[in-house]
A and B are shown apart, each in its own frame.
Chain A
């Protein structure tokens, strides 16, 4: 997978290293801005809907 990726990068080795770093940075940015917030909203760490015995449903978040 990474071998294939490396072989498909153009230019000499220093250029390839820079390109690989740039692409990695871009992926990290996309993860931080779009993917992780979405994943975080699926995780239960933040809040839990709870049924208090005699009351209606109340939310007790973290």
Chain B
């Protein structure tokens, strides 16, 4: 077999590189590497944390269902304060059904807790209790149950399922606040923090704008219906399934 000169694989001799050229070469490769690392990190944040969160949601849901199934679902509502870092309920928001349907709510609002679902501020009321049931959820990353919190409307429902029953809250007012506006957690948000609560309220909030932690997007609401498990399930749950 004959080889034409074009077919030979030998490259023309490369002149030895000067020091400055190889330095530029090295910096170039370094920058490309950093770029790839940053892109991978963004992919991790936007995609992988969702994978992790959905796994955690499913596990949390299965765990709760098992726990609730073992002992009879009757009993007095919310007799026990939930343990820190542990899930005690499931949240269903019909208007945000694609992301916030049967998401566990856990006691506490620190980072590790919010990776697994909604976080309940321990110093606030439990579902159905007089006072303010205040919960936080991710706007982006880690399942982002409240990704579309800005599309909620007055009158939309937030349904909480606990061992003892169903609690249907209706959203009433929305506000954008600063991260230091701790008043949203008050027993009656908007009134002095020592006000004695007369109704069961809900505060549900997330980061705002998306992909930042500059502000918080908050919805306030009130309990409109409360039913024990034995009395059936709320219509929205009937309609779309648990």
Secondary structure at chain B's binding surface: helix, strand, loop or mixed?
A: mixed
B108 — nearest CB in chain A belongs to which residue? Answer: A59
Interface residue from A31, A44, A61 paired with B44 (Cβ < 8 Å): A31
B29 to chain A, nearest CB (A): 5
Contact between A62 and B193 (Cβ–Cβ < 8 Å)? no
- Contacting pair B138 A62 (CB below 8 A): yes
Quick one: which of B49, B109, B114, B181 contacts A52, CB cutoff 8 A?
B181
How long is the Cα–Cα vector from A23 to B161 in the complex, in angstroms?
Answer: 47
Q: How far is the CA of A1 from the CA of B114 in the complex (A)?
A: 40
Tell me whether A48 and B44 are in contact (CB under 8 A): no
Interface size class of A (residues with CB under 8 A): 20 to 34
A50 at the interface (CB under 8 A from B): yes
Number of interface residues of B (CB under 8 A): 38
Question: Which residues of A have CB within 8 Å of B211?
Answer: 45
Query: Which residue in chain B gives the minimum CB-CB distance to A50?
Result: B180
Q: Is B90 an interface residue (CB 8 A)?
A: no
Alpha-carbon separation in the docked complex, A54 to B182 (Å): 9
Q: Judge whether A52 and B180 touch: CB under 8 Å.
A: yes
The closest CB in chain B to the CB of A1 belongs to B29
> CB within 8 Å of A: which of B112-137?
114, 119, 121, 136
Interface string of B159-203 (1 = CB under 8 A from A): 000000000000000000011111111000000010000000000
Q: Do the beta carbons of A31 and B183 come within 8 Å of each other?
A: no
Name which residue of chain A comes closest to B146, CB basis.
Answer: A62
Q: Enumerate chain B residues within 8 angstroms of A32, measured Cβ to Cβ.
A: 40, 44, 48
Q: Which residue of B lies closest to A40 (CB)?
A: B45
Q: Output the least CB separation between A54 and chain B (Å).
A: 7
Chain A residues with CB under 8 A of B181: 50, 52, 60
Q: CB within 8 Å of A: which residues of B?
A: 26, 29-30, 33, 37, 40-41, 44-45, 48-49, 109-111, 114, 119, 121, 136, 138-141, 178-185, 193, 205-207, 211-213, 216
